[in-house]
A and B are shown apart, each in its own frame.
Chain A
Amino acid sequence: MNKVVPNVGGALKGIKSGMTLMLGGFGLCGIPENAIKELVKMGVRDLTCISNNAGVDDYGLGLLLQGRQIKKMISSYVGENDEFERQMLSGELEVDLIPQGSLAERCRAGGAGIPAFFTPAGFGTEVAEGKEVRMFNNKPHILEHALTADFAIVKAWKGDTEGNLIYKATAMNFNPMMAMAGKITVAEVEELVPAGTLDPNFIHTPGIFVQRIFQGEVFEKRIEQRTVRTR
């Protein structure tokens, strides 16, 4: 089976309006930026997007929000995007905000065949509304269900033709769990190498979780908060 697709268009083939997508990244770090631009071009609509953040107004998932392509966002933090806040407060956009650790674990569980789990995060808050509560070690926990997606789109630093992936620094974030939770997982990599090139000891995501892999054309890698010290 050949997992390598020549371009982003081929990688995203089969994504249709109304589907649920997972998109890796934390803030603008480690987002599949080539795939997001392609989704804008494809014009698919009514998407449910599972992603920790929603980009900024003119980059990342913000681009899909601008075109009203997203029906529902499942995220933990959306604070840096004015258009998102406007659509959310006006009711145009459905939003499910969930604690970041629960989001990560729900993706992991989805990929790991665990349908649900109990966590203390969110007990006593509106996140717990309607959820089963159980005591473990004299402490209340709430039941959270696994998440899966029609397509998971992740971004890695290096990948090989078998779909094995290595992430760089904090650009790893949600990518490994989402790679596990997609019915079809698409990996956008900065550098695509032949199988056997990457040291098996240092693979983060084993190729079994990846169905399609392509090398992105352009990586802008925008920085959200450039913070430096003087020499």
Chain B
Amino acid sequence: MRSLQIPKSPKVISGVVILGVFIVLTVIGPWIAPYSPNTNRFSTSQMPSWHHLLGTTLLGQDVFSQLLVGCRETMVVGFVAGFIATVLSIVVGLAAGYIGGKTDEGLSLLSNVFLAIPGLPLMIVINSYLPPGKQANPLVIGVVISLTGWAWGARVLRAQTMSLRDRDFVEAARIIGESRRRIMFGEIGPNLLPVLASSLLFTILYAVGLFTTLAFLGLTPLSTWNWGTMLYWSNTQNAAIAGQWWWVGPPGIAIALVGTSLALINFGIDEFINPRLRAGGLSARQRRKVGMSRRPHLGFTPVRRVSATKPTGSN
């Protein structure tokens, strides 16, 4: 069984740190926010200052407080949707890949259908029919997002399961007579971990993206705060054209940073799954440290004589 030993590259570490900061903010954000995100008693459209670290909106609200408060809803919906979708993709992917035959054909077709239908328009349609009461709960939206986002993970997991199915140790378990479920979750499951982790990261990324997009369109309840709603308000009030970068910028950058952190962590998983991405990969900085002036070119093995004891004729 392979345990998940992610290479500790600078990319992975910075990804973990950035994501960690946002997870902490998810927990404490609403508590440490200096003001209520709704209160509009400040002077309007102020540039950032010590009183308002990220300035104020056209309505006189504190942008920094909105950002801190909005972190929780954005992250929770993204993670919940990501987790549900991943569970769905595990069930579908493992079943399709392991059982095979008609089950596989049916489930693969289902994944292909969900993969082909674009998520945002589907969400908009579903959302437009959600009765107003349900609409008020962002978590419901998260659940619906997860229903549109599991197919990719299922496809990747299916492929990986199929390649694992015929390996020796699975064959052995089958001969010993272990139950199908035991083999699927006990033997194959752990070996899927890296692929699973990667798929989870991408699904969270997808969910955060889709949720904030819906919010930006004003399709999530406007009574609560997330980064998408912040962008919705700044957009409806033409903050960009008015040049109010402190209002437009922070929520967008926050969304991008969460996405970046997930993708950076995924680089580590990629290198774990695909050793070629790792082997021979020496960053420019590492190379300078060992005194190599140029990167190794494929098919032109560098010559570096380390033992200075022997005089060399030609160089």
Do A and B truly interact? no
Which A residues are within 8 Å of any B CB, using their own CB? Answer: none
